[in-house]
Structure 1
Amino acid sequence: MSDAASVTYRNPVLAGDRPDPAIIKVGDEYWMTYSSFESAPGLPLYRSRDLVNWAYAGSALAEPLGSTFAVDIAEHDGRYFIYIPFIPTPWSELTEPAIFVIHADAMQGPWSEPIDLGIRWAIDPGHVVGEDGKRYLFVNGIRRIALTDDGLATVGELEHVYDGWRYPDDWITEAYALEGPKLLRRGDWFYLVSAVGGTSGPPTGHMVIVARSRSIHGPWENSPHNPVVRTWDAAEKWWSRGHATIVEGTGGNDWWMVSHGYENGYRTLGRQILLEPVAWTEDAWPVAVAEDIGEDLDAPAGASPQPASSAFSDDFTTLRLGERWTFHAPDPGEASRLRLDDGLVIAGKGSSPGESSPLAMVVGDHSYEFEADIELLGDGVEAGLLLFFNDRLFCGMGIDGERMLSYSGGRSTHWREPAPATRRLQLRLRNDEHIVTGWYREPGRGWTRHAIRYETSGYHANTIADLLSLRPALYAAGTGSARFRDFAYRPVTKGVAA
């Protein structure tokens, strides 16, 4: 495509589970992060010059203090801030939801340690500078609190400032759930972009609404075009669309909306990042203009074509924590379990895969396979490969030196797979549009298919009440360690034999 105007893109612009995107334009670049929940490192940072193609640029949070919910990125007087809600978890010292802030001289960091803002029982912070020059945070509810000039402390208490826009009672949603406030100033107006309808549940629930005011102190007027974005029918490609930010585009006079949504038929992949064009009406309201964001759309000016998903391998000569691998539900200092020694050595944790804080990776392909060479080190260790949703829901297989252990639905199954009793085995899992098949072999020998296949289309948020995704993972449980070598990931064409 030689004509830049002819470049198109297709959603998602960043595949896989990357919910609640927060985005900021810095010069000619865009920076984005998203809810990383119980992953460490947390808050992966991505950068782009065209809103379509994104590259990993580091992580802002080495060790989360809890489950890391929807954040906001802000710039003020040349300094950058990320406002972070942490939610208590079994491994966290927090006892109630709390909002913290980290700051840096540049988006690439280094980022400060989290600073407690003293805000409790609130999530989804949205930063704004008012016409009075003062800084404020809006949170779910919609409530507001003032910040000190340096943005590192609060002034006063949370106060309710906006009642939201009410959709008809017969609309099928999860819950009203007024949340996700993102604010921008354009011309004489402040715009408050929020989400209602619940982030999961029925596919027609989550939606984007807009209100505006000439003052950050209100009153807020609801848009006559609400909801600006919604999944109107479960036949659409993208479900539960919401948690949006409106951002100026690359052309200087174009505007775009970045949001998240579930792909129809693939809730297992989590909430993926969506991009769509925005227009402004003559009376200065933003409206979404794409008839179907599941089709090819004209890309922002100067955008490059999207690359196809590709295979990759990892020989573990370097440790790509954050970029590729993250721990699930880590204790403080979890990275000390890892060392590079002729592969990746993972010290065992817990007594089962669900307790092991596995190393997981986000993927966005409908069908894929992954494999690794696994060697047990020391006594009392079990290790293997999983498709991991959370500590209650996973499937896969491992070895303990005496037998193969098989897992489905988050439990060890009764099936005794006749795999060799060995301390080293190569394992492979394939997820072929929710049909999961396993293989194993001793090094240098042929692959044997595991006798049992699993169907995993139900491994998603509505089943387990946890806003995560199904991810390839490596685990080691018990008292010893395991060495992982020659990891490989491949997108596959449905039905291709191993």
Structure 2
Amino acid sequence: MVNHSRRDAFKLVLAGAAAPFSLRAAAAIPCARRDETPVRWRTGIEGQRQADLGDGTYRNPIVAGDHPDPTILKDGDDYYMTFTSFQSSPGLEIWHSTDLVNWVPLKPALTRPLGNVFAVDLCRHAGRYFIYIPAMVGDTGWSIHVIWADHIEGPWSDPIDMKIGGCIDPGHVVGEDGRRYLFVNGIRYIRLSDNGLAADGALQQAYSPWRYPDDWVVEDFAPEGPKLLRHGAWFYLITAVGGTAGPPTGHMVITARSKSVHGPWEHCPHNPLVRTTSAAEPWWSRGHASLVEGPAGDWWMVYHGYENGFRTLGRQTLLEPIEWTADGWFRARGGDLSRPLPKPKGGRRGRSGQALSDAFATGALGAQWSFHDPRPEDTRRIRHEAGGLRIAARGSSPSDSPPLTCLPGDRAYMAEVTLDLVGGAEGGLLLFYNPKAFVGIGFSPHTMKTFEYAQEQPWMRAPMATTRVRMRLTNDHHVVTFHYSHDGGKTWVKHDLRMEVSGIHHNVFGGFLSLRIGIYSAGEGSIVARDFSYRAIDAG
């Protein structure tokens, strides 16, 4: 009786939805801003929003979509950055820039599943590149791992477990004594061996961070993300406090300085250097910062934040100018990050972004793709064939079949893919957060299925004999519409159910993730994905 009532209620909703209306007017969620001038980005590949506005200015984010905990390395005239990759595999994509604004991905440094990977640190020492990786492997708890390479594009070594347990957010530094150290959440530190591949001592408390006033609205204290810089006679320790998500006014950037990595550390009198003070601001929960010298010798701060109204996109990468002050400290001077800012001077502009569309014509998995939380054997589920990517089936639904995902960075977009069903497999197109939070449609050889908020809706099952279907997903400012076609996209049928997904984010489901486009393959046999296409609807 309950199921019939719910089905009837949905029929009424769908009947009403059939009338003409403005999707954008009904669905758009406004971003509260101090500056009410409409935001426009310059569009790049596939209509995706682009930071470089082409007139000597840029608009944040510099890397759109879920790219949290940025770690940045200046290496001569080049800049490299990577981000938290969580359970995705391949992971730790290395990005490259020559001007701090235009970024392109190179290759993943972590090619096999390691577990849940949190905020890492990318550095170079004695001509070798290192990435220090906190990872939760199974039920063994957090431990710091390290990989290394002689060239930034690899090959990278297999992960080495350094047996530094219970720690996340490493920050590498060479002390005034010439020894290498890792600082971690807490804020603690540990000496490393000269080759940087093992601990050489015990964890010690390094610094008791500055405390904000008790009446500030934050998530929790959470001192984390220590990044270190030697500038002049001082070591600067840049730290995040206030919690990573929760209230938009929580996360913040503070700093301290010392003549020695062993302390004592002096609080900056200007703390916090970055903080969201109002939910009306364009960027929320700003923190986890690193400092980097620009091409012309000026200085910049790179950190992450949630976009107001679009937590579903995850934490995105932001760039803000800083200046060194006469008292030997520094301050942020970007102001309202919703407005264009002057680009760093002296850099050479390069390409920006990457195409998400994929004809699956090469023998390698595109940089845009990764499995969500795969087992080690899941990376062997894929095989390239002429004009397609074969994905072996696993599990019975998107809840237990890790989807192949790619990461959008736009507020509104459209994605399409053609799936061939082989050997009785079921496949479909999703917006996927985690196994408990996703929406989508799927097809078996005899049935169309609908997944709404991680639940398959049996009352919406429809008999449909097919072994090939093209699917379209439209996410228009959180309102999701599906279409499908049995003639290769010449004619389309609109799926009866629209879904609203603005609530599928960390503050509801945990995990610090984002909504990704996903392709799943379940049941028996396999699917072959062909001609995946992506297009941003607009950049506003």
Instruction: Please give the TM-score of this superposition, normalised by the length of structure 2.
Output: 0.87
2:444 is matched with 400
Shift, 1:64, TM fit: 3.0
2:498 is matched with 453
Deviations 1:331-374 (A, max 9, x none): 11322111112311100111111211111011111100111111
Deviates more, 1:474-483 or 1:8-17: 474-483
Structure 2: which amino acid aligns with 1:85? P
Deviates more, 1:341-350 or 1:269-278: 341-350
The alpha-carbon distance between structure 1 residues 319 and 22, as it changes in their structure 2 partners (threshold 3 A), is farther
SS, match of residue 355 in structure 1:
coil
1:260 is matched with 304
Structure 2: which amino acid aligns with 1:168? P
Asked if 1:287 is matched to 2:331, the reply is: yes
2:12 is matched with none
Matches of 2:536 and 2:354, distance apart in 1: 7
The alpha-carbon distance between structure 1 residues 305 and 129, as it changes in their structure 2 partners (threshold 3 A), is closer
Deviates more, 1:456-465 or 1:326-335: 326-335
1:364 is matched with 409
Shift, 1:493, TM fit: 3.9
Shift, 1:304, TM fit: 6.5
1:412 is matched with 456
Q: Is the 8 A contact 1:20 1:70 kept in 2?
A: yes
1:387 is matched with 431
> Which residue, out of 71, 75, 78, partners 1:26?
75
The alpha-carbon distance between structure 1 residues 317 and 75, as it changes in their structure 2 partners (threshold 3 A), is same
The alpha-carbon distance between structure 1 residues 131 and 419, as it changes in their structure 2 partners (threshold 3 A), is same
2:372 is matched with 328
Structure 1: which amino acid aligns with 2:250? G
Matches of 2:276 and 2:222, distance apart in 1: 16
Asked if 1:36 is matched to 2:85, the reply is: yes
Q: Is the 8 A contact 2:358 2:366 kept in 1?
A: no
Deviates more, 1:113-122 or 1:317-326: 317-326
Structure 2: which amino acid aligns with 1:127? H
Deviates more, 1:19-28 or 1:314-323: 314-323
1:246 is matched with 291
2:41 is matched with none
Shift, 1:315, TM fit: 1.4
Shift, 1:256, TM fit: 0.3
Asked if 1:219 is matched to 2:268, the reply is: no
Q: Is the 8 A contact 1:53 1:304 kept in 2?
A: no
Matches of 1:337 and 1:434, distance apart in 2: 31
The alpha-carbon distance between structure 1 residues 111 and 65, as it changes in their structure 2 partners (threshold 3 A), is same
Deviations 1:71-116 (A, max 9, x none): 011211111111000013xxx3x51101011111121211111111
SS, match of residue 462 in structure 1:
helix
Deviations 1:456-487 (A, max 9, x none): 00010001011100011111012210111111
Q: Calculate percent identity across the aligned residue pairs.
A: 54
Matches of 1:494 and 1:305, distance apart in 2: 21
1:345 is matched with 390
Q: Is the 8 A contact 2:449 2:458 kept in 1?
A: no
Matches of 1:175 and 1:447, distance apart in 2: 49
Structure 1: which amino acid aligns with 2:470? Q
Q: Is the 8 A contact 1:59 1:322 kept in 2?
A: no
Matches of 1:320 and 1:246, distance apart in 2: 35
* More helix per residue: 2
What pairs up with 1:148-167 in 2 under 5 angstroms? 148-167=193-212
Q: Is the 8 A contact 2:356 2:534 kept in 1?
A: yes
1:63 is matched with 112
Asked if 1:432 is matched to 2:486, the reply is: no
Deviates more, 1:268-277 or 1:4-13: 4-13
Deviations 1:180-237 (A, max 9, x none): 0000000000000000011011101000000000111100001011000011111000
Instruction: Please give the TM-score of this superposition, normalised by the length of structure 1.
Output: 0.94
Runs of 4+ in structure 1 deviating by more than 4 angstroms, as ranges, are: 303-312
Matches of 2:295 and 2:164, distance apart in 1: 36
Consecutive unaligned residues of structure 1, counting only runs of 5 or more, are none
1:481 is matched with 526
The alpha-carbon distance between structure 1 residues 309 and 68, as it changes in their structure 2 partners (threshold 3 A), is closer
What pairs up with 1:138-153 in 2 under 5 angstroms? 138-153=183-198
Asked if 1:232 is matched to 2:281, the reply is: no
SS, match of residue 313 in structure 2:
strand
Structure 2: which amino acid aligns with 1:292? D
Structure 2: which amino acid aligns with 1:454? M
Structure 1: which amino acid aligns with 2:508? T
Q: Is the 8 A contact 2:103 2:352 kept in 1?
A: no
Deviations 1:394-427 (A, max 9, x none): 0010101111110011111234254632121111
SS, match of residue 445 in structure 2:
coil
